Amino acid sequence: QVQLVESGGGLVQPGGSLRLSCAASGSILRFSSMGWFRQTPGKQRELVAIIIRGGSINYVDSVKGRFTISRDIAKNTVYLQMNSLKAEDTAVYYCKTAVLGLDYWGQGTQVTVSS
């Protein structure tokens, strides 16, 4: 059983920054990819950023240049640094991994960008 716990969400003004954290139970980051997704009411969950097991990184076009995904393998934690936040970044953010063919999701953390 893998548990993922997100933290770091909150209310921020447009142009501001937040850093999300996703702490994983067990030492899985060496062997598993980790992604950050977001979801707004009535819409499908969207992949925002992913860091592949070997270290490759991909972003959705709308966050390129503003968001940075990183990981600390020793701490079993993945981060999402979000800069220059916009109102359209408002969503519940989830981290996700897959281990032995099973998907695991965190509980989500709300990010609200508003003045």
pLDDT tens-digit map of 73-93: 899 999 999 999 999 999 999
Fill in the DSSP letter of residue 32.
-
Half-sphere exposure in the Cβ direction for 11 (13 Å, CA): 2
Strand-pair partners of 24:
4
Fill in the DSSP letter of residue 65.
T
Taking Cα atoms as reference points, which of 115, 114, 109 lies closest to residue 48?
A: 109
The pLDDT assigned to 12 comes to 98
Question: Which residues of the chain fall short of a pLDDT of 70?
Answer: none
Fill in the DSSP letter of residue 110.
E
The pLDDT assigned to 69 comes to 97
Can you tell me the distance from the alpha carbon of 27 to that of 68, in angstroms, rounded to the nearest whole number?
Answer: 22
